[in-house]
Amino acid sequence: MHRRIALLSIALAITALSSLALTRPAAAESTFPSTTIKFIVPFPAGGINDVLARIVADKLQHKWGQPIIIEQKTGAGGNIGADLASQAEPDGHTLFVTAPGPLAINGSLYKKLTYKPEDFVPITVIGSVPNVTIVRKDLPVNSLRELVEYIRATPGKIVYGSQGNGATPHLTANMFMNMTGTQMVHVPYRGETLVLQDMLGGHVDLFFGNVSAALALWRDGKVKVLAVLDKQRSAQMPTVPTTAEAGMPDLISTGWFAVAGPPKMAPALRDRIAADFNEVLKMPDVIEKIRNTGVEPVGGTAAETAAFIKDEARRWGEVIAKNNIVVD
């Protein structure tokens, strides 16, 4: 009799422990959000990354019933902010909102990082913006094909600008030179505005900048845009052909802005936060505000986002390795 009671007690204890284990993830998820949420943005205030974070934060803080703070932690190509975000508790109250560098480029670009890009938990993509081939107004070319021919006829004389070594325009230019067998001179700047100013002054011939950067100058006829480096035309520049239409379908380069959680974030919490972001990204006023920045809203599941970032990391990693591009 005593043995039967003992066995029954053990069975009940095992059942209780099993039930507790099964409910822990749901219990952890239900505690979010319980306090102020922080969006860490690794690039300066006023830039597209910052603006997009604020657009979605405005809606999410009402949905979540908690304030959201946007915290800029800039420097080292986004690595300072990434390092801080990687050390946060994975409880959803600190999220990383970033351009491609920290998640898909810096792992191949820098000799040493204080964080592991692959350890972040991808949540969703807020939006993307294609890069375009911008040339100075008086450069004697009017198509991508003519640009390639002109560079081949003047090897080592065409000057292209970028926001610095390892920036997307720099990597895109290297991709372009690899594909076309051409050579150009790289001049790094501290920002896209400075690149475009020097282009207007005749000191820069070519810049693989994004649609937003070129839009006003293009509309005013101060620069020429030869191609959109994406699979579809830009709604902001509907008359400009894609690189596929211009004969270079593999020349694809887009800027994007993703949300990621700190390492070890629970899948259930990740998926809940992704669903909330996607709900906000479908709101008409949010779509309008994002498109007004020149960015197209994207969204997507956490799994889709993880696959996308992995593919971007592979593609840019190949460009970096092939051209031996390293930033100390």
The number of residues in the chain equals: 328
Q: Report d(CA 28, CA 246) in Å as an integer.
A: 52
Contact at 8 Å (CB) between 204 and 189? no
Residue 40 sits in the same domain as residue 185: no
Q: Are residues 137 and 213 in the same domain?
A: yes
| Residue 200: inside a domain | yes
- Is 155 found in the same domain as 90? no
CATH number of the domain residue 189 falls in:
3.40.190.10
Residue 135's DSSP bridge partners are: 206, 224
What residues pair up with 257 in beta bridges, in sequence order? Answer: 127
- Chain center to CA of 138: 32
For the chain, 328 residues long, the average pLDDT of each consecutive 10-residue run is 44 42 47 96 90 97 97 93 98 97 96 96 97 97 97 95 91 97 94 92 96 92 97 93 96 96 98 98 97 93 98 96 90
Note whether residue 140 is domain-resident. Answer: yes
pLDDT (tens digit per residue) in 35-68: 999 999 999 888 889 999 999 999 999 999 999 9
What DSSP assignment string belongs to 181-238?
T---EEEE-SSHHHHHHHHHTTS--EE--BHHHHHHHHHTTSEEEEEESSSS--SSST
Query: Are 139 and 125 found together in one domain?
Result: no
Q: What is the pLDDT of residue 44?
A: 86
154 in the same domain as 85: no
Structural domain range at position 296: 35-129+255-322
In this prediction the pTM is: 0.84
List the CATH number of the domain containing 311. 3.40.190.150
Per-residue confidence (pLDDT) for residue 107, from 0 to 100: 96
Residues 101 and 147 in one domain: no
Peptide bond into 33 cis (omega under 30): yes
pLDDT at 15: 44
* 54 & 78 share domain: yes
- Asked if 68 and 39 count as a contact pair (C-beta separation under 8 A), the reply is yes
Sheet harboring 185-188: ordered strands across?
185-188, 159-162, 206-207, 132-136, 223-228
Residue 64: other Cβ atoms inside 10 A: 17
Judge whether 29 lies within some domain. Answer: no
| Claim to verify: residue 224 and residue 154 sit in the same structural domain | yes
pLDDT for position 320: 97
Q: Is residue 287 part of a domain?
A: yes
Residues 142 and 167 occupy one common structural domain: yes
Please give the tally of structural domains in the chain. Answer: 2
CA–CA distances in Å: residue 22 to residues 16, 32, 91, 131: 10, 18, 18, 47
217 and 77 within one domain = no
What pLDDT shows up at residue 61? Answer: 97
Residues 69 and 213 in one domain: no
Would residue 250 count as lying in a domain? no
Q: Which of 300, 261, 262 is nearest to 126 (CA)?
A: 300
What's the start-to-end Cα distance of the chain, in Å? 73
SS3 132: strand
